[in-house]
């Protein structure tokens, strides 16, 4: 699978699934129009954009452009790249009705179309032979459980301490924290923070 350096933000969870089948990178869900009222999510996107770059990949309808323009305006200039899918009439198989404008969204795009959109946006495609040595194994939910960050009695407090150490919103979910760590931090950094929490430093 092709590895991309930048993280990619899309509209919904079905878009996330589609893009993750095409490229190997962090893919984030904007939640559609919900992003307009989610300052914590914008803060997360800003940190990721400043650290590794961010590509916005929304549907080609009017709503998609409203979302992409909002994200572009809310983040630092030069930290966001814009990927555009073509206007293709149709509807996704799982939907009873097509979109208001009758266009296929990111979810309905073929892999080659998504790759072409990312290339045109200036995505940084990393060579697999080099990147395999450079990239460590992503942190998983099982790691979070082993470190006591989820699924255990004191997980909420331990996670709050990690969020504070990373200067992240206090009520960020475990899944959002996992996405952030894999996007811009490292296993070694997180292990150091957990060691400090465990020893009470």
* Confidence grade of residue 201 (pLDDT, cut at 50, 70, 90): low
pTM metric for this prediction: 0.75
In angstroms, the CA 145 to CA 19 distance is 27
Phi, psi angles (nearest 5°) of residue 167? 60, 50
* Confidence grade of residue 131 (pLDDT, cut at 50, 70, 90): very low
What's the angle, vertex CA 10, arms to CA 8 and CA 16, rounded to 5? 85
Between 9 and 177, name the one with better pLDDT: 9
Q: Which residues contact 60 (CB under 8 A, 6 or more apart)?
A: 84, 85, 86, 87, 103, 105
Between 185 and 75, name the one with better pLDDT: 75
Question: Could you tell me the CA-to-CA distances from 107 to 84, 184, 200 in Å, in that order?
Answer: 13, 26, 46
Q: Which residues contact 120 (CB under 8 A, 6 or more apart)?
A: 83, 84
Length of the chain: 201
User: Over the stretch 69-103, which tens digit does the pLDDT of each residue have?
Assistant: 999 999 988 889 999 998 887 776 766 665 676 78
**Is the per-residue pLDDT at 182 higher than 90?**
no
**Is the per-residue pLDDT at 129 higher than 50?**
no
């Amino acid at each position: 699978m092709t590895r991309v350096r930048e993280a990619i933000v899309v509209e919904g969870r079905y878009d996330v699934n589609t893009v993750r089948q095409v490229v190997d990178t962090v893919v984030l869900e904007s939640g559609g129009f919900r992003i307009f009222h989610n300052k914590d999510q914008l803060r997360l996107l800003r940190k990721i954009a400043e650290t590794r770059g961010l590509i916005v990949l929304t549907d080609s309808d009017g709503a998609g452009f409203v979302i992409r323009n909002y994200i572009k305006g809310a983040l630092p200039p030069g930290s966001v790249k814009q990927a555009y899918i073509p206007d293709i009439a149709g509807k996704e198989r799982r939907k009873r009705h097509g979109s208001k404008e009758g266009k296929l969204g990111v979810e309905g795009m073929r892999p080659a179309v998504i790759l072409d959109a990312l290339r045109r946006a200036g995505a940084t495609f990393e060579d697999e032979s080099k990147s395999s040595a450079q990239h460590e194994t992503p942190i998983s939910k099982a790691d979070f459980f082993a470190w006591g960050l989820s699924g255990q009695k004191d997980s909420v407090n331990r996670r709050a301490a990690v969020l504070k150490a990373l200067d992240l919103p206090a009520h960020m979910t475990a899944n959002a924290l996992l996405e952030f760590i894999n996007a811009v931090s490292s296993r070694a950094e997180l292990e150091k923070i957990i060691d400090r929490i465990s020893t009470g430093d």
